[in-house]
């Protein structure tokens, strides 16, 4: 009998079907009556077995047949009157914890240590259903806007943007680094393709122990030329954000419901406030003062998010004009106040999900800025080549893909939105 | 005046337009007449300036205006009668070599050393136009077949598949490895999502000095459950290959023409021949004998490709049943001959572009195979967890994305199909 997916069952009411999947949960009311949830790649469906002894362990890989019945109360709108169940593969042991419960109540460390099992839980699968949509939506919207997809190297002979937060590598007889971002490469590519995007890993050797950091993440990057100013970049990023959530709305209703997650409010134009002004507002409105030396701290970001919600009914806010010393050497300075930059962070529910700026495109200005930042131009020979031979005005962003899902689903940690997260202590599984 | 892209000019005949891009080449016949090629992200178009002195260097970023004229002989079907040219950014120096010629005749090392410049050449851009299509086509076809996109870590506490060909990394106070493939992770994910694919970097610390190897490449991976045998995998991969080339046919005609590249012949069913049989055929037909110990060598692959073309009019051929000792421990053995495996390589024009197999899905068999391969199960604790708690029959492939473009365009080296390639000696740019 050909296989039918659980999501297709509603088209087979009254017919006999065969499902392939996992025996997700088993409730035997008597020897005469058993309720079995079967999970396949499209979801979960209940089989009702009457007068048939179920001789299969929870977690088994099975093929089950039965007749589809309409059942309004069921999640799929159907249930299946089971006729047979064939075991393909059985678990060797009892599962170390029950993953058939509606919610998976385990500590974060257990959740991550047992990733091969915990990702089988319906609620955890939902996280990665949403993540899958984020990846594809980013790919779609960037191509719609005529960006070319590039893949740049993750190993490099030079520490990408300077600074100290990179992992070092033995590369044959040389020393190499893992790139912290595709920044320099994507800028070089603007000189050839004008509009480029990349979806790829970024590596940060930062000793963070927070719920919002991992040491390896998937960065959604974009860089493009012929901009008039950093506002063009924020406008483009707004389109991207809108498309991503539109796609999630279309594809992930069931996943959102499991988390009681609400789609964000995104105004036509996301509000943008200068960082210094935001700090003043936070002090006045929430009595929270940050030192002049910090750009903004996590608590400040939370208040900025709260302000955006209260004042603009927006889950997003751009903070702009970060101080020069808080941004890398390639960031373009503001024309009116050269201590500030043409830069922004995008906050979603009070957390930074994206960072961008207009970049310096003039060769002489770039050299000047490097010297000002005590960065040695000789270390950036190839990068500088692109500028020596003329670059258009340009800019772009990097965006943490996992943070979008983390905040949308109100997860406890961004690590829950990564299949196999890496942190200071975690290199397994 | 709003910007028009060169590819849109045919819709603006008789109208005045403004183009933004790069002054790609300049031919001054006299003070009265100059031909200027302007390159933007969509292509190249010729401006004709009469009685206007062009005071801009080749390579400059410019805005140029003029009136569009139909011109059958031109590539875009139009040319522009230039009226003005505004310089946005000039090169600081003469270019180290002329990139305005129709073909870029430089050594491979020059081509790669000067990547920030050479990728600006029209023929080099074409390579990455095709590559962009490959990436998107793979994404499309995998989603069409109901695969979920996953992103797995590239840093790991364990050497992914065993063996010695991995890069080591300082990871805070620990030692880590760069993953050679997402193999173990994607198998784990089959246990949760059934069908998964990944597009991501793979790192191989192999001392190759060939035209077909790089040490970091983008692998197009897939893994899926509930297969009946390795033939299902080859069938699925055939669909993928067909979709990729269909998309290239639709989108990259201009790029193919630049390389006089022909789309491959792909039969309805790609021929599949057992490796040992292929070696016999190669010996008989081409007089080339390989030792029993090698599976197949590069020259053998070339002959296999030649045979596929002569016998089946196919640019592709599957070689199957690789010897057990030539495949990793997780490969399923053939039922009839346990010295052979349920595995395959896919050759395109006589070069391996993909490797796949059915995997062992039974826990006890997997442990037995590990011991047989002198692999310590304790080193694969998390991976084995997935199997301890039941896995469906499954398999998949890895495919070298860059090799597809390398062979299609008949490039001299796969490195030409990588923006910033990494090899034993090359970590820059």
| Residue A31: predicted pLDDT | 79
- A148, A167, A389 member nearest B132 (Cβ): A148
- A391, A420, A424 member nearest B89 (Cβ): A391
Residue B162 has pLDDT above 70, yes or no: no
Residue A330 has pLDDT above 80, yes or no: yes
- Shortest distance between the Cα of B41 and any Cα of chain A, in A, equals 5
Query: pLDDT for A173-201, tens place per residue?
Result: 999 999 999 999 999 999 999 999 999 99
Segment A210-234 shows an average pLDDT of 97
Residues in chain B: 429
Query: pLDDT for A49-80, tens place per residue?
Result: 999 989 899 999 999 999 999 998 887 889 99
Report the percentage of chain B scoring pLDDT > 90.
91
The dihedrals phi and psi of A412, each to the nearest 5 degrees, come to -75, -25
Segment B189-217 shows an average pLDDT of 96
Residues in chain A: 429
| Residue A162: predicted pLDDT | 64
Mutate to test the interface with B, among A168, A219, A389 (most CBs of B within 10 A): A389
CB contact under 8 Å between A178 and B169, yes or no, is yes
Q: How far apart are CA A336 and CA A274, in angstroms?
A: 13
| Residue B31: predicted pLDDT | 79
Report the percentage of chain A scoring pLDDT > 90.
90
* DSSP H stretches of helix in B145-295: 183-193, 230-251, 253-258, 275-286
Residue B334 has pLDDT above 90, yes or no: yes
B187 by DSSP, 3-state: which? helix
Residues of A whose CB is below 8 A from B60: 390
Average pLDDT value over all residues in chain A: 95
| Residue A74: predicted pLDDT | 85
Q: How many CA atoms lie within 13 A of A34 on its CB side?
A: 21
* Contact residues for B105 (Cβ-Cβ < 8 A; gap 6+): none
The pTM for the full model equals 0.97
Q: Where do the domains of chain A lie, and which CATH numbers do they carry?
A: 6-89 (2.40.50.140), 122-417 (3.30.930.10)
- A329: nearest Cα among A362, A367, A294: A367
Instruction: Evaluate whether B368 touches B378 at the Cβ level (below 8 Å).
Output: no
* Contact residues for B301 (Cβ-Cβ < 8 A; gap 6+): B347, B350, B351, B352
- A61, A114, A124 member nearest B390 (Cβ): A61
Residue A163 has pLDDT above 70, yes or no: no
- Shortest distance between the Cα of A320 and any Cα of chain B, in A, equals 26
Residue B324 has pLDDT above 80, yes or no: yes
Residue A15 has pLDDT above 90, yes or no: yes
| Residue B160: predicted pLDDT | 62
- Shortest distance between the Cα of A194 and any Cα of chain B, in A, equals 6
CB contact under 8 Å between A41 and B117, yes or no, is no
Segment B263-268 shows an average pLDDT of 96
- B60, B364, B428 member nearest A157 (Cβ): B428
| Residue A398: predicted pLDDT | 98
Q: How far apart are CA B116 and CA B419, in angstroms?
A: 9
- A154, A385, A427 member nearest B157 (Cβ): A427
Structural element, H or E, at residue B126: helix B122-144
| Residue A292: predicted pLDDT | 81
Query: pLDDT for A355-373, tens place per residue?
Result: 999 999 999 999 999 999 9
Residue A229 has pLDDT above 80, yes or no: yes
Residue B163 has pLDDT above 70, yes or no: no
| Residue B44: predicted pLDDT | 95
| Residue B76: predicted pLDDT | 80
Query: pLDDT for B266-289, tens place per residue?
Result: 999 999 999 999 999 999 999 999
CB contact under 8 Å between A155 and B132, yes or no, is no
- A139: nearest Cα among A214, A242, A220: A220
| Residue A407: predicted pLDDT | 98
Per-residue pLDDT band for B1 (boundaries 50, 70, 90) equals: confident
**Token digits of residue A398:** 């990097």
Q: How far is CA B203 from CA A254, B330, B342, in A?
A: 37, 20, 25
Query: pLDDT for A374-417, tens place per residue?
Result: 999 999 999 999 999 999 999 999 999 999 999 999 999 999 99
Answer with the residue of higher pLDDT: A330 or B160: A330
Residue A97 has pLDDT above 90, yes or no: no
- B127: nearest Cα among B404, B424, B423, B426: B404
| Residue B285: predicted pLDDT | 97
Task: Say whether the peptide bond before residue B429 is cis (omega within 30 degrees of 0).
Answer: yes
B234 by DSSP, 3-state: which? helix
Query: pLDDT for B84-134, tens place per residue?
Result: 999 999 999 988 888 888 889 999 999 999 999 999 999 999 999 999 999
Residue A91 has pLDDT above 70, yes or no: yes
CB contact under 8 Å between A390 and B115, yes or no, is no
B166 by DSSP, 3-state: which? coil
Answer with the residue of higher pLDDT: B30 or B382: B382
- Shortest distance between the Cα of A234 and any Cα of chain B, in A, equals 20
Average pLDDT value over all residues in chain B: 95
Q: How far apart are CA A284 and CA B66, in angstroms?
A: 55
B62: closest chain A residue by CA = A392
**Token digits of residue A427:** 């290199």
Which of A202-206, B137-141, B160-164, B342-346 shows the lowest per-residue confidence on average (mean pLDDT)? Answer: B160-164
Residue B49 has pLDDT above 70, yes or no: yes
**Token digits of residue A173:** 């007889």
Residue A30 has pLDDT above 90, yes or no: no
B193: closest chain A residue by CA = A41
């Amino acid at each position: 009998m050909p296989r039918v997916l659980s999501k297709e069952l509603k088209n087979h009411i009254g017919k006999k079907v065969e499902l392939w999947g996992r025996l997700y949960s088993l409730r035997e009311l008597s020897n005469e009556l058993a309720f079995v949830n079967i999970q396949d790649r499209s979801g979960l469906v209940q089989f009702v077995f009457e007068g048939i002894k179920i001789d299969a362990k929870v977690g088994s890989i099975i093929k089950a047949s039965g007749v589809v019945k309409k059942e309004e109360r069921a999640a799929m709108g159907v249930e299946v009157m089971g006729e047979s169940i064939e075991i393909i593969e059985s678990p060797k042991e009892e599962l170390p914890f029950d993953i058939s419960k509606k919610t998976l109540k385990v500590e974060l460390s257990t959740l991550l240590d047992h990733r091969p099992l915990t990702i089988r839980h319906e609620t955890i699968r939902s996280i990665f259903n949403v993540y899958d949509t984020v990846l594809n939506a980013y790919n779609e919207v960037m191509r719609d806007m005529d960006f070319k997809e590039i893949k740049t190297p993750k190993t490099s002979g030079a520490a990408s943007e300077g600074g100290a937060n990179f992992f070092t590598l033995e590369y044959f007889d040389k020393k190499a680094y893992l790139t912290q971002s595709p920044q320099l490469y994507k800028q070089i590519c603007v000189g050839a393709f004008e509009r480029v995007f990349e979806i790829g890993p970024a590596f940060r050797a930062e000793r963070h122990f927070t719920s919002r950091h991992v040491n390896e993440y998937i960065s959604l990057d974009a860089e493009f030329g012929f901009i008039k100013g950093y506002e063009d970049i924020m406008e483009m990023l707004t389109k991207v954000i809108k498309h991503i959530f539109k796609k999630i709305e279309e594809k992930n209703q069931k996943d959102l419901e499991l988390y009681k997650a609400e789609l964000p409010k995104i105004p036509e134009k996301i509000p943008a406030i200068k960082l210094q002004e935001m700090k003043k507002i936070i002090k006045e409105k929430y009595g929270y003062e940050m030192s002049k030396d910090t750009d903004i701290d996590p608590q400040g970001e939370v208040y900025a998010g709260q302000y955006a919600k209260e004042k603009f009914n927006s889950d997003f806010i751009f903070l702009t004009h970060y101080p020069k010393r808080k941004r890398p050497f390639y960031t373009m300075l503001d024309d009116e106040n050269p201590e500030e930059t043409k830069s922004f962070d995008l906050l979603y529910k009070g957390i930074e999900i994206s960072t961008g700026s207009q970049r310096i495109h003039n060769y002489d200005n770039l050299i000047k800025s490097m010297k000002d930042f005590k960065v040695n131009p000789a270390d950036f020979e190839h990068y500088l080549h692109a500028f020596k031979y003329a670059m258009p005005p340009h800019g772009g962003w990097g965006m943490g893909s996992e943070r979008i899902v983390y905040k949308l689903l109100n997860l406890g940690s961004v690590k829950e939105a990564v299949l196999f997260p890496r942190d200071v202590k975690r290199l397994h599984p």
